[in-house]
Structures are given as C-alpha cells and as structure tokens.
Amino acid sequence: MDEAHARHVLAACEQHYNEHRPHQARNQLPPDAAEQSAVAHDLNTHKVLRTRILGGLLNEYRYAV
C-alpha cells in the first residue's frame, strides 16, 4: 500500500461519514444532508439494496426504486 491508496481509503470513509452515515445528534441525518421528510416505508413492498464501500468494509443501504 502507498500514499495514494491511503488517500483513496480516507476519501471514501470521509464521503460515507458526511453523506450517508446517520448521526444521532442530527436526528439520523448525515452532516451534509439538508432536512429530509420523515417517510414511512412499508418493508413488505420495497426491496433494500446494499452498496459495498471499500470491499464491504462500509455498507450503504437504500430502497430500490
């Protein structure tokens, strides 16, 4: 591993932390998110998709559209 790899890993972690990861102090919103409406989803009608970050070290989940 070299400096370029370390920078790539840190950038991916930073992006996940600021754009996706929920934070309790922000009512489960990530730091870079604007306020979003509370939408209730019926778990029986939506498929959940997983996006693997850094080979699965981090995972992001979203509903399929």
For the record, the structure tokens of 17 come out as 């932390």
Report the C-alpha gap between 11 and 7 in whole angstroms: 6
- Find all residues with CB under 8 Å of 28, minimum gap 6, and list them: 22
Domain residue spans in the chain? Answer: 3-63
* pLDDT tens-digit readout, 20-57: 787 777 777 777 777 655 555 566 667 888 989 898 88
Report the C-alpha gap between 6 and 44 in whole angstroms: 40
Question: In the prediction, which pLDDT does 4 show?
Answer: 94
